[in-house]
Amino acid sequence: MSETPWWLESGPETCQFCLRTFHYEAGYHCIYCDRPICPSCVATRFENRETVCPECHENGNRHEEEN
Protein backbone atom coordinates (compact mmCIF):
# COMPACT_ATOMS: atom_id res chain seq x y z
CA MET A 1 0.00 0.00 0.00
CA SER A 2 1.33 3.43 -0.94
CA GLU A 3 2.07 6.01 1.74
CA THR A 4 1.59 8.84 -0.76
CA PRO A 5 -1.78 10.67 -0.59
CA TRP A 6 -3.97 10.13 -3.68
CA TRP A 7 -3.81 13.78 -4.71
CA LEU A 8 -0.01 13.65 -5.00
CA GLU A 9 0.01 10.55 -7.20
CA SER A 10 -0.15 10.62 -10.99
CA GLY A 11 -3.65 10.86 -12.36
CA PRO A 12 -5.50 10.75 -15.67
CA GLU A 13 -5.31 14.51 -16.45
CA THR A 14 -2.26 16.03 -18.17
CA CYS A 15 -1.13 19.57 -17.44
CA GLN A 16 -0.82 21.58 -20.67
CA PHE A 17 2.13 23.50 -19.24
CA CYS A 18 4.48 20.95 -17.65
CA LEU A 19 2.95 17.73 -19.07
CA ARG A 20 2.76 16.12 -15.62
CA THR A 21 -0.25 13.99 -14.87
CA PHE A 22 -2.54 14.89 -11.99
CA HIS A 23 -5.97 14.15 -10.56
CA TYR A 24 -8.70 16.47 -11.83
CA GLU A 25 -10.01 16.92 -8.27
CA ALA A 26 -6.62 18.25 -7.13
CA GLY A 27 -6.18 20.67 -10.03
CA TYR A 28 -7.28 24.20 -10.76
CA HIS A 29 -8.79 26.10 -13.69
CA CYS A 30 -7.61 29.46 -14.95
CA ILE A 31 -10.13 32.23 -14.33
CA TYR A 32 -9.33 33.77 -17.74
CA CYS A 33 -8.98 30.88 -20.21
CA ASP A 34 -10.57 28.05 -18.15
CA ARG A 35 -7.72 25.63 -18.94
CA PRO A 36 -6.97 22.96 -16.31
CA ILE A 37 -3.77 23.58 -14.35
CA CYS A 38 -1.85 21.16 -12.14
CA PRO A 39 -1.07 22.22 -8.55
CA SER A 40 2.60 22.75 -9.49
CA CYS A 41 1.92 25.22 -12.31
CA VAL A 42 -0.94 27.26 -10.90
CA ALA A 43 -0.13 30.90 -10.23
CA THR A 44 -2.24 32.41 -7.46
CA ARG A 45 -2.80 36.11 -7.12
CA PHE A 46 -3.22 36.25 -3.38
CA GLU A 47 -4.54 39.81 -3.28
CA ASN A 48 -7.60 38.75 -5.34
CA ARG A 49 -7.56 35.00 -4.54
CA GLU A 50 -7.49 34.18 -8.24
CA THR A 51 -6.05 31.04 -9.82
CA VAL A 52 -4.33 31.77 -13.10
CA CYS A 53 -2.42 29.59 -15.57
CA PRO A 54 1.24 30.46 -16.24
CA GLU A 55 0.43 31.92 -19.67
CA CYS A 56 -2.31 34.25 -18.43
CA HIS A 57 -0.23 35.13 -15.39
CA GLU A 58 2.57 36.22 -17.73
CA ASN A 59 0.06 38.34 -19.64
CA GLY A 60 -1.54 39.60 -16.43
CA ASN A 61 -1.20 43.28 -17.20
CA ARG A 62 -3.18 42.84 -20.41
CA HIS A 63 -6.08 41.17 -18.54
CA GLU A 64 -6.10 43.87 -15.86
CA GLU A 65 -6.18 46.62 -18.49
CA GLU A 66 -9.21 44.99 -20.17
CA ASN A 67 -11.21 45.02 -16.91
Would you state the pLDDT for residue 33? 94
Report the alpha-carbon distance of residue 11 to residue 61 in Å, rounded.
33
- Where are the domains positioned within the chain? 9-66
Q: Is 22 exposed, middle or buried (0-12, 13-18, 19+ CB in 10 A)?
A: buried
Report the alpha-carbon distance of residue 67 to residue 64 in Å, rounded.
5
- Indicate the CATH number of 9-66 among 3.40.50.2300, 3.40.190.10, 3.30.40.10, 3.40.50.300: 3.30.40.10
Q: What's the maximum distance between 2 C-alpha atoms anywhere in the chain? A: 51
pLDDT, one tens digit per residue, over 22-66 is 888 888 899 999 998 888 888 877 677 888 999 998 887 555 555
Within 10 angstroms of residue 30's Cβ, the number of other Cβ atoms is 19
Strands 28-29 and 21-22: unpaired
